Every structure is written in structure tokens, then in C-alpha cells.
């Protein structure tokens, strides 16, 4: 881990700030007051046992789910107060998401999967395909451009998913167990590609994992236990950032 990121974040560093997040599914409490800050360009690992609320936390931070209580601030906006249209725009343009199994569209080729976010944002087919091809090249899967997900290995599919998440040049990527379905070698290749690209582009990464070896790629690690951050907890500078941005 990068020693510099062991220092507390300053208000200027904070990209996304979450405070007191609570989320329940029926009678099950997934989050019980979780708080943390994700810094600009930071790679932050969130670890914890299965069922500790890691994926729910990611969904709230990425605007996929709304917390029952608490707040998530990004760029001076409180995500819980935004209309669905604005949240969709953020997920399309500012946030990239990678899931454990990639969730590529099986009917589309690798090139079309990566170009899709650009097309949804209004780009023309030619420029979108060109940019998608460049990102496939960056992740070492340009040769799989015309293959559909069923014709690729797990590692190749996950690198295509990373290219799709980063093709819009997002400010933050949320990766939910991105190597959980891969063998050790493929997992290492995927994480190396993700970290190298994040460093190069200055993209922040929130990495959900239960694997200590994967967490070691991060600048900083927090542990989620019983729905709350139990170590590396967010400090008060996040509130200062909210006040300055608001």
C-alpha cells in the first residue's frame, strides 16, 4: 500500500463522502451507520466478511441504491436528493461500475459492450467504436473485439468490463469483487491493469474485496463489520469538504 494514503484525507482531497449510511432489506440491516471518504485518485479497498454490507455500501456510494438514512455527497450534490434522471447521468458519465461477473451484454461483441456507454451519452457510432477499440487495446483484449462474452475467458471478459467502466473517463470506478470469479493469475492481471490505468488517468477506485492479496493493491483499506466501518474510519474533514462544496 502507498504510505502517503495512510495520512488523513484533507477536505480538498475528498471526492465522495458518506456519513451515517443505513440500509435495510426487509428485517435485515445491511448498513448500520457506515461512514467513509473516497479521495481524488485514491484506490480504497473495503474489506469484510460475507454479509457485512460491502456491496450495499458500494451501491449507495455509486447511486445505484438510495440509503434509508444518512447521506452521500459528490461534487456538492447529495445523491439521495437527486432525481433518477440525474443519478442515471452520473452513473453513465462520472461513475464506472464493475461487478464480479462483469455483467457484459451477452448479445453484443466486446467492442459493442465497451462502446455502449458512449452511444448512450450521444456519441456517434464511428468515434464511439474508435474509442472503445483504444480501451480494449489498453487492457490487452483488442484481439477479442468481435467476440461475444460467451467466447471469451473469464479474465478477458473482466478486462472488457473494465474497459467499459473507464471508456467515459469517469472520476470514480466502483469495483465489486472484480476478481472473485477468476483464478489467481487472471485476478492478478485484472488488478494490475485496473491499478495501472487508474494511476495513469487519476481515476478514484472503490474496491470491494474479501481477499487480502487484492486489498494490498489499494492505497488504503477500511474494514466493514456488521454494516459499519470498524477501522480506518472516515474523519471529520469530509464534513468540511461538504461545507466548502455546498
CATH number at residue 56: 3.40.50.300
pTM, two decimals, is 0.86
Percent above pLDDT 70 for the chain = 88
Q: Does 147 reside within a domain?
A: yes
Separation between Cα atoms, residue 7 and residue 4, nearest integer Å: 6
Query: Whose CA is closest to 175, among 33, 78, 79, 54?
Result: 54
Q: Does 4 reside within a domain?
A: no
Q: Does 195 reside within a domain?
A: yes
Number of domains in the chain: 1
Cβ count within 10 A of residue 51: 12
Cβ count within 10 A of residue 172: 24
Q: Does 51 reside within a domain?
A: yes
Q: What is the pLDDT of residue 102?
A: 67
Question: What are the pLDDT digits (tens) for 45-88?
Answer: 999 988 899 999 999 999 999 999 999 999 889 999 999 999 99
Question: What are the pLDDT digits (tens) for 118-154?
Answer: 999 999 999 999 999 999 999 999 999 999 999 999 9
Specify whether the CB–CB gap between 132 and 167 falls below 8 A.
Answer: yes
Q: Does 150 reside within a domain?
A: yes
Q: What is the pLDDT of residue 242?
A: 36
Q: Does 143 reside within a domain?
A: yes
Range of the domain at 100: 39-65+83-227
Q: Does 238 reside within a domain?
A: no
Backbone φ, ψ for residue 121 (5° rounding): -85, 0
Specify whether the CB–CB gap between 82 and 230 falls below 8 A.
Answer: no
Query: Whose CA is closest to 15, among 31, 38, 36?
Result: 38
Q: Which strand (E) or helix (H) includes residue 185?
A: helix 184-201
Give the end-to-end CA distance of the chain in Å, rounded to a whole number. 32
Q: In what order do the strands lie in the sheet with 77-78?
A: 28-39, 14-25, 69-74, 77-78
Q: Does 78 reside within a domain?
A: no
Question: What are the pLDDT digits (tens) for 183-235?
Answer: 888 889 889 999 999 999 999 999 999 889 999 999 999 999 989 998 654 44
Amino acid at each position: 500500500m502507498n504510505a502517503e494514503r495512510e495520512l488523513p484525507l484533507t477536505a480538498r482531497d475528498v471526492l465522495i463522502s458518506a456519513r451515517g449510511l443505513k440500509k435495510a432489506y426487509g428485517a435485515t440491516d445491511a448498513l448500520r451507520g457506515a461512514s467513509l471518504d473516497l479521495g481524488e485518485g485514491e484506490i480504497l479497498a473495503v474489506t469484510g466478511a460475507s454479509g457485512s454490507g460491502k456491496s450495499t455500501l458500494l451501491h449507495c456510494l455509486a447511486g445505484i441504491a438510495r440509503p434509508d438514512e444518512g447521506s452521500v455527497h459528490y461534487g456538492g450534490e447529495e445523491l439521495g436528493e437527486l432525481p433518477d434522471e440525474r443519478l442515471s447521468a452520473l452513473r453513465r458519465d462520472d461513475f464506472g461500475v464493475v461487478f464480479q461477473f462483469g455483467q457484459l451484454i451477452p448479445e453484443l461483441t466486446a467492442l459493442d459492450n465497451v462502446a455502449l456507454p458512449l452511444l448512450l451519452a450521444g456519441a456517434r457510432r464511428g468515434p464511439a467504436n474508435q474509442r472503445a477499440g483504444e480501451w480494449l487495446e489498453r487492457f490487452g483484449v483488442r484481439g477479442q473485439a468481435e467476440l461475444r462474452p460467451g467466447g471469451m475467458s473469464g479474465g478477458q471478459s473482466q478486462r472488457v468490463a473494465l474497459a467499459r467502466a473507464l471508456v467515459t473517463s469517469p472520476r470514480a470506478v466502483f469495483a465489486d469483487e472484480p476478481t472473485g470469479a477468476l483464478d489467481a493469475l487472471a485476478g492478478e492481471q485484472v488488478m494490475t491493469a485496473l491499478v495501472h490505468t487508474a494511476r495513469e488517468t487519476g481515476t478514484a477506485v472503490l474496491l470491494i474485496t474479501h481477499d487480502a492479496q487484492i486489498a494490498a493493491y489499494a492505497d488504503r483499506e477500511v474494514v466493514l463489520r456488521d454494516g459499519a466501518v470498524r477501522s480506518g474510519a472516515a474523519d471529520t474533514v469530509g464534513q468540511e469538504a461538504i461545507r466548502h462544496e455546498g
